[in-house]
Amino acid sequence: TLVLVALFYPEFDVARWRSQALASVFYVENWALAVAQVDYYAVDDSGSSPFQHFWSLSVQGQVFLLWPVIFAAAAVVCRRFRWRPVPVLAVAFGAVFVGSLVFSVVRTAGDQAFTYFDTRARLWEFALGSLLALAVPYLNPARGLRVVLGWAGLVSMVLVGVLVDVQGAFPGWIALWPLCSAAAVIVAGSSGSRFGVDRVLASGPLVRLGDAAYALYLVHWPLLITYLVVRDRPVAGPRSGVVLIVVSLVLAVVATRWVENPLKRWAWPERSARRLAVVVVVCLGLVAVPVLGWAQADARRAAQIAAEAERNNPG
C-alpha cells in the first residue's frame, strides 16, 4: 500500500498516509481515525485513507492484549477460591459485555463518528463471542432447530444491510443484530441435514473463499481507494466495482497461497521467545523504517527548498 501511495497519490496527501501506515502497523489505526474525525460512512471515498480498513484489525490487536489479562485474573480467582473457570469467565466477560454495550449505546447517540472507532465501544462484541464460546459446548439443539437457526441467522445477516440505517446506528445496540445472526449460524453448526445452511457454507468454493478471507480483507480496500484516486472519482461504478472485486479475489488467493500459508507453516520463530520477538520487531521495522526514513528525506528536502528560496530571493 505504501508503494501505491508513493506512485499514485497526490504529494500533499503522502505525509498523512505515511502516519496512517505507522498507526496501522502498531495497531492503533482506529484511534488515529477517531482523533482525525474521519467519517467511516462518507459518501466520497476518494479522500479516504488506503489504510482505513486497518481500524478493525487494530481493535482486534488491542483485544488480543486485553483478553489474556482477563484470563489471567480469572485463573487467580479460580485458584484462590477453588471456583470453576467457566462461571468465573462468564461473569467476567458478562461484565465487559454489559459495561461496553451501555457505553457504546450512550456514546453512539452523542458522537457516532468517534465512537465507531472507539475500542471501548467495541469490547462488548468480542465479549459476546467469548460468552458464546463458553456456552457452545453445553448447547446441543435438535437437528430441526439447527436447520432453522442456520437459515434464520444467514437471512438475518443479509437483511441487516438492506433494512438498517447503518450510517447513523452503528456501533450501538443495533450491532446486536448481525452479531446474534452470526451466533445463530455458529450454534447451528453441522446440522447433518441436507436442508441445513451448513451444506451451503461448507461447500468447496465457499470454504476456499473463507480460507482467503483475511487476505481479501487486506487487499480490497487499498485497491478501491487507489482506483478512485487515479480515476478521480468519488465512488466505483458497477463495471469497475466488479473488476475490483475479481482482482481482489485473485490477489487474495495468491497472497494466501504464497505468503500467508508458508508463513503460518514456518516453525523457526516458534522455537523460542527470542526468535519470536525478533520476527515481530522485523515485521514492525519493515514498515516503520521506510516510513520514518521517507519522512526524514521529505523534511530535509523541504528545509533545502526553504534555504534556497531565501538565498535566491534575498529580502
pLDDT reading at 73 higher than 90? yes
Q: Tell me: the pLDDT tens digits for 177-194?
A: 999 999 999 999 998 888
Q: In whole angstroms, what is the distance from residue 264 CA to residue 267 CA?
A: 8
Could you give the CA distance from residue 70 to residue 251 in angstroms, rounded to a whole number? Answer: 37
All cell numbers assigned to 303? 528545509
Separation CA 202–CA 190 (nearest Å): 9
Rounded distance between C-alpha atoms, residue 310 and residue 110, angstroms: 49
Between CA 178 and CA 141, with CA 152 as vertex, the angle to 5 degrees is 105
Q: What percent of the chain clears pLDDT 70, i.e. is strictly above it? A: 97
Tell me, yes or no, if the pTM score tops 0.75. yes
Alpha helices by DSSP H, 112-142: 112-117, 123-135
Sorted by where each begins, the domain ranges of the chain are: 17-138, 142-199
Q: What is the mean pLDDT of residues 59-87?
A: 96
Is the pLDDT score of 39 beyond 90?
A: no
Stretch 92-96: mean pLDDT: 97
For position 46, what pLDDT does the model report?
Answer: 60
pLDDT score recorded for residue 47: 74
- What is the rounded CA–CA span in Å between residue 261 and residue 214? 12
Mean pLDDT taken over the chain:
91
Taking only the tens place, the pLDDT of each residue in 243-299 is 999 999 999 999 999 999 999 999 999 999 999 999 999 999 999 999 999 989 988
Question: Is 308's pLDDT higher than 90?
Answer: no
Degrees to nearest 5, angle at CA 40 with 39 and 45: 90
Neighbours of 226 (CB within 10 A): 18
